[in-house]
Amino acid sequence: MPPTTSTPSFHLLAKPTGAVCNLNCSYCFYLAKERLYSKSHLQMTDEVLKSYLRQYLSAHGASHITIAWQGGEPTLMGLAFFRDVIAYEQKYTPPHTVIERTIQTNGTLLNEEWCAFFREHNYLVGLSLDGPRELHDVHRIDKAGHDC
């Protein structure tokens, strides 16, 4: 097989809040990680976001690049953070490249403004559901111990 001259495509999941989440689901293996770093501020800074996107987008040789967000709960970063993501994407995306955006969320913070943003920027939204209501609700509680 002849050597290829293009850079291979790859996939990363960015966790802008680390393991931090607004829920306290009884089965979640990330909760222990959140407690490990409880004294640290682990949210992705603007400087790190800018550097991450610049390097990630320039390292690809593919015409389609997926930018995937996960957590903890990535929507805890707020809409302003994700608007900055779009601005940096526009600045750093190579010509003739299509960006595919994904986010995995528990959905508890979503509202019309979030949904409009996701639609406008063609996000594929993965919504974490834990089965039928009787199973889902019994394990999914917020940090104050209330059902979601």
Q: What is the pLDDT of residues 135-148, one digit of tens each?
A: 767 666 666 776 66
The domain spans of the chain are 13-139
Are the C-beta atoms of 63 and 96 separated by less than 8 Å?
yes
What pLDDT shows up at residue 34? 61
Bridging pattern class, strands 123-127 and 64-69: unpaired
Please check the confidence at residue 69 and state whether its pLDDT lies above 90.
Answer: yes
The strand pairing partners of 126, in sequence order, are: 104
Average pLDDT over residues 59-79: 93
What pLDDT shows up at residue 79? 98
What pLDDT shows up at residue 75? 97
